[in-house]
Structure formats: C-alpha cells, structure tokens
Amino acid sequence: MEFEPMDDFEEQLKRSFQRWPAPPSLKHRLMENRRRRKERPRWFALPREVLVAVSLCVFAGVFAALYGGIASYHAEQQRKGEAACRQVMTALRITNHALNHMNKQLAAHGRGSQE
C-alpha cells in the first residue's frame, strides 16, 4: 500500500479541519437565553453614577457598623477592666483593714505580756 504523499499534508489538514456544523438546538437555546437575560431585572444596568453612589453608601454603612462594633467592644472591655480594678481595690482595703486590726491586737498582746 502506498502512503499518501506527505507533501500535501497541509492540504489534507485543511480538508480535515473543516468547520463542524453547530448543533441545531444551539441557536434556539441561545436566543432563549438571550430573551430571558433581557427580561431579567438588571439592577447592574443602572447608570454608573447611581451604582457608584450605592456602592459608596454600602461601603460607608459597613465601615460605620464595623467602627461602631469595635468602639463598643473597647468600651465594654474598659468597663470590665474598671470593675475588676474596683474589686481588687476593695479586696486590698479589706485585707489592709484586717491586717491593721491584727497588728493592733498583737501589739496589745505584746504590751500585756511585758507588764
């Protein structure tokens, strides 16, 4: 058997690589998709200025919510810290008071035994 002459290999490629016919349903589905797309409400089709303004508002809202959240968290932490500090100071005062009282008693006891 003779090989096909490879000189016309490129011609063979051209013949082999003809376009395939598109599936018959392709156009129908495409037009249907297009129609549905056009019917769908397209908020993103609003004028650019409106989209920018809405985006800015959303951004500002998110920023304010975040900032508010962080500030509120800090205030809460500060309040808890101050309460803890007050509790420690009270405990220290009580301890101090008890120690003073014990000191006085010891001193009185020392004086009594000397006499």
Task: Catalog residues that contact another protein under the rule CB under 8 A.
Answer: 1, 3-4, 6, 9-10, 12-23, 26-27, 29-31, 33-34, 37
Nearer to another protein, 35 or 104 (CB): 35
Q: Which is nearer to another protein, 18 or 113 (CB)?
A: 18
Q: How far is the CB of 3 from another protein (least distance, A)?
A: 6
Nearer of residues 19 and 111 to another protein, judged by Cβ: 19
Number of Cα atoms under 13 Å in the Cβ half of residue 57: 6
User: Which residue number, 17 or 111, has a Cβ lying nearer to another protein?
Assistant: 17
Measured in degrees and rounded to the nearest 5, phi and psi for residue 9 equal: -60, -40
Question: Looking up tokens 């549905």, which residue turns up?
Answer: 36
What is the closest distance, in whole angstroms, from the C-beta atom of residue 52 to another protein in the complex? 20
What is the closest distance, in whole angstroms, from the C-beta atom of residue 67 to another protein in the complex? Answer: 38
DSSP secondary structure, 41-94, as one string: --GGGS-HHHHHHHHHHHHHHHHHHHHHHHHHHHHHHHHHHHHHHHHHHHHHHH
What is the distance, to the nearest Å, from the Cα of residue 110 to the centroid of all Cα atoms in its chain?
69
Token pair listed for 58: 């959303």
> From the CB of 31, what's the least distance to another protein, in Å?
7
